[in-house]
Amino acid sequence: MLHQSLPLLCDSKIADSILLSVSHFSNNNNNNSIGSSRVLDVGLKFSKQSSGGGSSGRGFSSKAGVKTTTTPNVYGRRAQESVLEQEEAPQKLGFKTFPGQAFPFGVSQVENGINFAIFSQHATAVTLCLSLPHRGKSERTDGGMIEVALDPKVNKTGDIWHICIEDLPRDDVLYGYRIDGPRDWRQGHRFDSSIMLIDPYAKLVEGRRFFGDASRKLSKFYGTYDFDSLPFDWGDDYKPPNIPEKDLVIYEMNVRAFTVDKSSGLDPSIRGSYLGVIEKIPHLLELGVNAVELLPVFEFDEFEFQRRPNPRDHMINTWGYSTINFFAPMNRYASRGGGPHNASQEFKEMVKALHGAGIEVILDVVFNHTNEADDKNPFTTSFRGIDNKVYYMVDLSNNGQLLNFSGCGNTLNCNHPVVMELILDSLRHWAIEYHVDGFRFDLASVLCRGTDGSPLDAPPIIRAIAKDSILSRCKIIAEPWDCGGLYLVGNFPNWDRWAEWNGKYRDDIRKFIKGDSGMKGSFATRVAGSADLYRANKRKPCHSVNFVIAHDGFTLRDLVSYNFKHNDANGEGGNDGCNDNFSWNCGFEGETDDHNIKALRFRQMKNFHLALMISQGTPMMLMGDEYGHTRYGNNNSYGHDTSINNFQWGLLDAEKSSHFRFFSEVIKFRQTHEVFTHDNFLSENDVTWHENNWENHESKFLAFTLHDKNGGDIYLAFNAHDYFVKVSIPPPPPKRRWLRVVDTNFESPDDFVPQGLPGIGSTYNVAPYSSILLEAKN
């Protein structure tokens, strides 16, 4: 693990050496107010350093000495100052400081200046580090820092350290902290005052500006702020879509991967950016989805696998499940390398444009772990160095080792009061500042564990999110499991608010469609809304987020093309990724030119999609499945910034009139037929199951009718046998006739006929591995 001497900051290109140390002085004022001031005299010295060791530039002079002087401050008090004494007289920058205030956390603009506040219960010393803007210089992450030591007698209230500085610029200042405290690992501490730390409450994070820029692979990250820009203009006629959960059709997607491929046809400067998403909104509308669920957009380091030699050091983190900061949008998703401020503005532009198109924005949020890894190969950037014992779960009975319920080396201590408030503040920030419509919580069962890792029946953070007034309009969706075995599908603490990724839906639908025996009853339960899991208290079918495919696992095309995962490219010897995929390759492993196998695979993809879109609950599909994207059997492709993950717009064009057309038409059919979106679980008046042989383990055929109150009934049949099934069709409602809308056995355009085809008799011969949908019309 590479740890540089962070007082010298980024890489080896030190431009300036700036030393400031301010001695402590007595102050009996209330530390929670701004208080009286003191002057900070900053000694600046630029000293030359000879080239050597493959680097050149300027740094700390080897001849520097420190002398102590005393000067009166503006209020007549005496403040000791240590000034760097070198061969040339130092320049002076004067700053007036005040004790500052404890709240709000992070950086805030107050009457007297810029206030900094950070929590650390166990810290014994806190130093604020600042880098001021330099005219005409856009990159300052290689320069020196001003360091301001905080006096615990003056700049501390309870466990909150704070200071206010009057004359700081209102934007473009980089900042961080160096924090010291107990060094006893057995008690859970990981303090190291040599490491620059990011403020957990930084609203913007500066660092590398271009995604995958290998020349800045080891760049550091800093907090920054902007109090100069005007508020974002959401527009006078702006309003969020406010779509009822039961009417959502969610599209899980990755911001970068959606448009970064050159086949997107976008200008290179906006490919893979928030603005790139805006350009492709017409595609989302044509597809018919009305909500996007964005893979993580909080700041993360795509080069995290390349910090040290390891089997994964060829990969780039493209999924983003490795959060650095919970408030800052990913700055490398800004266009043209625009940096954190532009990232913030362009994220808002994206949300505004999606809302204008009637599409909601749900964020995939990762509060189960952070980027700081484990104790074997830690990468301390923030929480670990600020107060590891507070922010992470540690096992004090095992020498203070980190607990790992996330599978990523650490576990956020979500039900500690301070961490709870951090999570709530983050969610509120995204709801208020960025107008997002909801959140999907990665490995949400971690949030159901106490500070010692034990499961809780009523987790405080889960309840607080459900009851929070600001979050009341937001969708909240749990991934109800974690890597410690806490599987809570159907049992996630919910307060009648939380929806869940329904993992049992995924598994049961996969098993039935591919032809497993004994799955007919489970298939019926899942398409009917999973009442066995969610019919409790005031929960609804919409609390089941139904999916067959998600970002982790096979794509839909790979689900029907591979029996086994093929993850060799990940560098983990095939040990990563799920082994229980419930997939079927339709007769050949991987790509093939066999016409019959290819036809069966496309038929199976249509069967899966139809089942998903006619199910009660909230459907979610994965980006790329609308044209049949393949990852060539890789079911854990988190580290590939290539066509394995990136949307292939050329392939979409090739499938526009066939595969894409079917997917789009089925989505739109769902949205125009209320029989698929019941508020409550189906009663016997809502559905008729055309089945009297539920106990037949070998039966792989199911037919049923969904009844419409106005007579527009829908008849559905799914045949997972490898032979034709001749089925009796029930009479249609009075004065109606059956029209065939869907038969997945046919090729486009006959597989979906929006207006329906007449000629349906009393029987229908359903082809092997196919499904049909009939609509009763006048």
**Catalytic residue check, 479:** yes
**Catalytic residue check, 442:** yes
Per the CB < 8 A criterion, the answer to whether 766 and 775 are in contact is no
What is the bridge-based pairing of β-strands 714-719 and 438-441?
Answer: unpaired
- In the block, tokens 């854990």 appear at 636
Please identify which of the residues 479, 482, 500, 508 carries the catalytic annotation.
479
Per the CB < 8 A criterion, the answer to whether 464 and 452 are in contact is no
Rounded CA Rg of the chain:
29
Nearest CA-CA partner of 372 in 445, 434, 322? 322
Length of the chain counted residue by residue: 778
What is the rounded CA–CA span in Å between residue 502 and residue 525? 12
What is the rounded CA–CA span in Å between residue 513 and residue 603? 11
Per the CB < 8 A criterion, the answer to whether 74 and 33 are in contact is no
Which phi and psi (to 5°) does residue 397 adopt? -85, -5
- In the block, tokens 């500066």 appear at 206
What is the bridge-based pairing of β-strands 475-478 and 499-501?
Answer: parallel
What is the bridge-based pairing of β-strands 106-110 and 91-98?
Answer: unpaired
Per the CB < 8 A criterion, the answer to whether 56 and 12 are in contact is no
Nearest CA-CA partner of 122 in 426, 423, 420, 383? 383
Please identify which of the residues 442, 713, 743, 751 carries the catalytic annotation.
442
- Tokens representing 606? 């249509």
Instruction: Quote helix, strand, coil % in the chain, to nearest 5.
Output: 25, 25, 55
Give the count of alpha carbons within 13 A of 373, CB side only.
14
The DSSP call for residue 462 is H
Burial of residue 82 (CB within 10 Å: 0-12, 13-18, 19+) is middle
> Per DSSP, what are the bridge partners of residue 68?
82
Secondary structure element (H or E) that encloses residue 70, with its range: strand 65-72
Report helix, strand or coil for 699. Answer: coil
- In the block, tokens 């989805």 appear at 289
What is the rounded CA–CA span in Å between residue 509 and residue 515? 10
Nearest CA-CA partner of 278 in 301, 295, 294, 255? 255
Per the CB < 8 A criterion, the answer to whether 556 and 605 are in contact is yes
What is the rounded CA–CA span in Å between residue 709 and residue 174? 62
What is the bridge-based pairing of β-strands 618-622 and 250-253?
Answer: parallel
Per the CB < 8 A criterion, the answer to whether 117 and 53 are in contact is no
The amino acid at residue 214 is A
Q: Which residues contact 616 (CB under 8 A, 6 or more apart)?
A: 527, 528, 529, 541, 544, 676, 677, 678, 681, 682
The DSSP call for residue 661 is H
Inter-helix orientation angle 595-614/520-527, to 10°: 50
Q: Which residues are catalytic?
A: 442, 479
